[in-house]
Amino acid sequence: DDTNEVVPPSLNDDEWIMCVLRPELVTQYAEMKINNFLQERALKMKQASEDSKEVRNSEVSQDAAVGGITDTTDESKVEDKNKNVGESKDNLANAEEEYIRSLQYNVNVFLPSLRSIETIDKDAYDQLHKDEEEARELARHLWDTVMPALTKDIRLSSGNGLQIPADGKSLTEFIHQRGINCRYFGRLAELAQKEEQDDVAAEKAMENKDARLKLQRYKMPLSWLELLECEMVARAAKHVLDSYMREQGGVASAQPAQTIASFLSALVSIGEESAAETEIRMSNLRDALD
């Protein structure tokens, strides 16, 4: 069935091949583009207004130089200016409406097993390429802007009142609000690790009286990287344990206690040991408690 390739086995997990960019990210990106567009439009209108003012001043100077103008000429110029202003406003409104229509993103353009439509509909094929480039731009915005900005907010959390998540559930909700999928835990962990390394390097430079590096006002909270690592291990362990439970037709799932206990022991242990070594370690532990 072709639907098996696009329908996720569970809606509770965001590991889905169909859409890898969250709607929160798309909304934030569109709002950012609109704000940039409005700022550019305001700048253009301001420049046009200044240019128009300069033209009017120049005309007044020329009229004064020739001894004034007739009322008919004056009225004609005023009408032309009003007409130009009206046309300019209409053009800006049309440009704004057209730009807003362009902010419709198709983030599912990289679905697998899709047949090329180049020979069927050239316009649709060209639009597909535009959608692909927009999706890539969205991904670059997520990678280069959104996640570094989140890391910076975490560093400044003690000063800006940002509440850092305390468990996996709140962590997932927290990054989803920023438009970040859980698959990017690794990227967030890399950024957090770099911030911690920068803090350590700055502290060593301060001890050595090296003025090239300065301590930042707020340190990177160590709990952020620890939480990310714990969540990554927990999610990976869930998938591994699930594969064990499904092996040989799900034999282990009939009596899961031993499989789960053995798996968790292997997961949290510091190393492998034989049964005799385990007995000796437990005996020493009991003696120490007695």
Looking at residue 75, its pLDDT comes to 53
Number of H helices, E strands in the chain: 10, 0
Looking at residue 11, its pLDDT comes to 43
Looking at residue 231, its pLDDT comes to 95
With beta carbons less than 8 A apart as the criterion, state whether 150 and 187 touch. no
Comparison of pLDDT for 121 and 247, the residue scoring more = 247
pLDDT band at 51 (very low <50, low <70, confident <90, very high): low
- Lowest mean pLDDT of 113-117, 180-184, 205-209, name the range: 113-117
Looking at residue 6, its pLDDT comes to 44
Rounded to an integer, the average pLDDT of 207-236 is: 86
| Cα 25 to Cα 10: distance, rounded to the nearest angstrom | 22
With beta carbons less than 8 A apart as the criterion, state whether 18 and 6 touch. yes
What DSSP letter does each residue of 187-209 carry, written as one string? HHHHHHHHHHHHHHHHHHHHHTT
DSSP 146: I
Comparison of pLDDT for 135 and 20, the residue scoring more = 135
| Cα 238 to Cα 227: distance, rounded to the nearest angstrom | 16
| Cα 99 to Cα 166: distance, rounded to the nearest angstrom | 41
Q: Encode pLDDT of 155-169 as tens digits.
A: 998 777 888 999 999
CA dihedral for 135, 137, 140, 144, sign (positive or negative): negative
CA angle 277, 280, 284 (to 5 degrees): 140
| Cα 78 to Cα 34: distance, rounded to the nearest angstrom | 34
